[in-house]
Structure 1
């Protein structure tokens, strides 16, 4: 099961620049651009065998780790833990 902390780790990894860690909170505002989304997609596929279709994803709603986790929980309820 993918947890909120797993999603936080993936998002933080993708938002890091030059391998410098980014400290984010699950409710910190984030901005996921198309490059970051592709990277997040790749990590979700590699680590959890989850595929996100970027054409049918509302990237503008991914405003925080919690919001992104909520999106994944709706799309993959059997694979994503709702427990914080």
Structure 2
């Protein structure tokens, strides 16, 4: 599972800047106490930087490589639909 988002954070003197974060995790299905199935995301890791989108994408590639995203059989992207 991969999820990317940004949040504006306050800086000094009333200025704001966008901090970008990508979260990576492993999706696991397990039995629930009611006898059904539950989906959980485990083994989470995060990467955050305050930089422009292209620089962030380039820098975040290190974490996606470390986590083996390119080797995943399936990938779920949790996004808000932004470009």
Q: Which has the larger share of strand?
A: 2
Greater RCO (CA < 8 Å, at least 6 residues apart): 1
Q: Which has the larger share of helix?
A: 1
Scaled by the length of structure 2, what TM-score is found?
Answer: 0.31
Scaled by the length of structure 1, what TM-score is found?
Answer: 0.31
